[in-house]
Amino acid sequence: MRLIGLDPGLRHTGWGVIDAEGNRLSHIADGVVHSRDREALALRLVDLFRQLNDIIERYAPAAAAVEETFVNKNPASTLKLGVARGVVLLAPAERGLPVFEYSANLIKKSVVGVGHADKQQVEMMVRRLLPGAVLESPDAADALAVAICHAHHASTLRAWSAQASVAAGGPR
C-alpha cells in the first residue's frame, strides 16, 4: 500500500511517500512544499493546496497520515499552523483518500520507541527504517516518520481484524 505522510506547516510542509507491504517499508520520495512569506494568508494556503495536489497526483497514495497540531505559546502562530493544517487535511480528503491523524508523541514512539525523542533521533531512525532515503530536510524526515507510524498502526489493525474475523468463524 502506498502512503503519504504529511508534517503541516504554513512556511514549510514536509511530505514523504512510502510503500508498505506487510512489515516491509520502501522509500519512494520525500520533500517539502513552501509558501511565500510575503503573500496574503489566503494565497499562501492556495499555494500549499496546489503543491500538495500535484504531489498526491504524481505518487497516487492509497491513504494519507497527518501529524496533529500541538499548541504553541504564541496564539497567532498556533492559529496560522491550524489553518495550514486544515489545507493539509483537505488536499488528500478532497481526492477521496482516507486521512489518519497521529500525535507527535505517538509518531516518535512508533518510530524511535520514545515519545519525547528529538528530531535527530527521529531522522536517524527514518534513515534506518528506509535505507537509501536521502531526506530533503528535517520536515521531510518528520513526514516520513508520520507515514511509517501509520504503516505500523494500519498493519496492526489489519492483523487484529483478520484475527477477529477468524474467531467469529469467518474466512481464514
CA angle 136, 98, 41 (to 5 degrees): 60
Catalytic residue among 7, 30, 123, 142: 7
Contacts with 16 (C-beta within 8 Å, 6 or more apart), sequence order:
4, 5, 27, 29, 30, 31, 140, 141, 143, 144, 145, 146, 147
DSSP 80-122: HHHHHHHHHHHHHHHTT--EEEE-HHHHHHHHTS-TT--HHHH
Whether 67 is catalytic is yes
Q: What does residue 19 show for φ and ψ, rounded to 5 degrees?
A: -110, 135
Beta pairing class for 63-67 and 12-21:
unpaired
**The C-alpha cell that represents 76 in the structure block:** 497567532
Catalytic residue among 30, 67, 123, 142: 67
**The C-alpha cell that represents 57 in the structure block:** 497526483
**The C-alpha cell that represents 143 in the structure block:** 513526514
CA–CA distance, 88 with 68 (Å, rounded to integer) = 11
Catalytic residue among 30, 123, 139, 142: 139
Whether 139 is catalytic is yes
- Residues serving a catalytic function are 7, 67, 139
